[in-house]
Amino acid sequence: MFMMNTKKPMSLTTRVILGMIAGILTGFAIRTLFADSSFVDTYIINGLFEVGGKIFIASLKMLVVPLVFVSLVCGTSSLKDLSTLGRMGGKTLGLYILTTAVAITLALIMGNVFHPGSGADLTAATSFKSAEAPSLAKVIIDMFPTNPISAMAEGNTLQVIVFALLFGIAISSAGKPGERIADFFVDLNEVLMKLVTLLMKVAPYGVFFLMAKLFTGLGLSAIWNLAAYFAVLVGTLLIHAFVTYGLMLKGLAGLNPFTFFRKMEDAVMFAFSTASSNATLPVTMETATQRLGVHNKVASFTIPLGATVNMDGTAIMQGVATAFIAQAFNIDLSMSDYLMVIVTATLASIGTAGVPGVGLIMLAMVLNQVGLPLEGVALIMGVDRLLDMIRTAVNITGDSCVTCIVAKSENAFSEEIFNADIELNEKQKVAISND
């Protein structure tokens, strides 16, 4: 007898969560049951899981350059006058810097209230070399590509953003030919978003492979030694994500924070599994335009920029880590040292690329500025991967929060999409965001 299948299909979010949990459990199980099996090691962990996970990350990254370029060209070319771009850019950068400064200040306060490093009996296992901080002049010069194709080939997001902005501006002021090119880019953008949607269909498997591989090798014992650091850092990340962003959304844009957090689920999970703001970019863009209701002309600019320069979670890690390392090495930091940490960590987080683990390398720069031993980085390295996953989720939540606020203030926000339930959003897709 045939039964009619009346069950509702599982939402993507549920499938991704299931993929994640199954991956974590599988990783743990393999680690416990097959620790010495070379077959499992070669064919399952470094075979199936490694290949599946790497392909998933590669396919996400594959979309970043085309998506940033095409959607930004669409966004800029639809702007009627250039002052809009300047105003939007000013607001976005201002809010990005503000949220990062709040994040790092909160981290330093938490680090000094809870003293995670006091009495820590830690010896640094390896020594660590600091990255050289590039000069501000060089950072600014480097934003301008000498060759847009090589900027794209190297995946240099800032250079791609600059080229796309200029190209979009040229389109919007080129009359009829500009209109024809703009139409082409609008179509191309739709096609690329379709590709993102397709990729998200296989995401639960990708997330499973990533988690399974990671958890077969994750040194959880290191967490016990650094439990206080871990707890203070995660606590601060959560406070910043829920309280700072929640208050900002309510206070500056009159939006319901709970709706926002619910809509962020998928993007947060992608960020968590990939530990890369860059790799998550396609999903953050999709979330912003199709779930949160941000118009493409804002999201196409603020989201890629945020994935490149706005890293509140990373700044929080750097703040808590600085306090922790100072305490562990019994070094007193003065008020001016703390101010220095706020400034350098804000700059360091701007300079941190949205890929796994870079925040930790940039931490060395912050430690250098206030004369703390760089070996401190080695102390916390063992637990960094898991924390990287959590801080990346905060990084992209910050980008999306600022994006909503800027969009609301620019009248480029659809409350209808924001308030619609997620399944409805998934059916509506692109609809209003490109009007």
Nearer to ligand ASP, 300 or 397 (CB): 397
Nearer to ligand ASP, 72 or 311 (CB): 311
Which of 236, 322, 352, 369 forms a contact with ligand ASP (CB under 6 A)?
Answer: 352
As a whole number of angstroms, the distance between CA 56 and CA 35 comes to 26
CA atoms within 13 A on the CB side of 71: 33
Nearer to ligand ASP, 63 or 358 (CB): 358
Nearer to ligand ASP, 65 or 85 (CB): 65
- Which range in 134-142, 184-192, 319-327, 347-355 contacts ligand ASP by CB under 6 A? 347-355
| Binding letters toward ligand ASP, positions 262-291, x by CB under 6 A | -------------xxx--------------
Nearer to ligand ASP, 23 or 356 (CB): 356
184-197 burial, b for 16+ CB within 10 Å, e for fewer? Answer: ebbebbeebbebbb
Calculate helix-pair angle for 296-309, 157-172, nearest 10 degrees.
160
- Which range in 50-58, 79-87, 258-266, 355-363 contacts ligand ASP by CB under 6 A? 355-363
Phi, psi of 407 (to 5 degrees): -60, -40
Q: Are 374 and 127 in contact (CB under 8 A)?
A: yes
CB 278 → ligand ASP: shortest distance, Å? Answer: 6
Nearer to ligand ASP, 246 or 354 (CB): 354
Q: Which two tokens stand for residue 173?
A: 């002021």
CB 47 → ligand ASP: shortest distance, Å? Answer: 26
Q: Which of residues 293-312 bind ligand ASP (CB under 6 A)?
A: 311
As a whole number of angstroms, the distance between CA 102 and CA 104 comes to 6
Nearer to ligand ASP, 395 or 414 (CB): 395
Which of 293, 306, 354, 376 forms a contact with ligand ASP (CB under 6 A)?
Answer: 354
- Which range in 23-31, 169-177, 353-361, 402-410 contacts ligand ASP by CB under 6 A? 353-361
- Nearest-CB residue for ligand ASP: 359
Nearer to ligand ASP, 321 or 370 (CB): 321
- Which range in 6-14, 101-109, 130-138, 354-362 contacts ligand ASP by CB under 6 A? 354-362
Nearer to ligand ASP, 355 or 364 (CB): 355
Q: Does 358 bind ligand ASP (CB under 6 A)?
A: yes
Nearer to ligand ASP, 76 or 322 (CB): 322
Residues in the interface with ligand ASP (CB under 6 A) total 16
| Binding letters toward ligand ASP, positions 380-419, x by CB under 6 A | --------x--xx--x------------------------
For residue 235, count other CB atoms closer than 10 A to its CB: 13
CB 92 → ligand ASP: shortest distance, Å? Answer: 17
Q: Does 357 bind ligand ASP (CB under 6 A)?
A: yes
Contact residues toward ligand ASP (CB under 6 A) are 275-277, 311, 314, 352, 354-359, 388, 391-392, 395
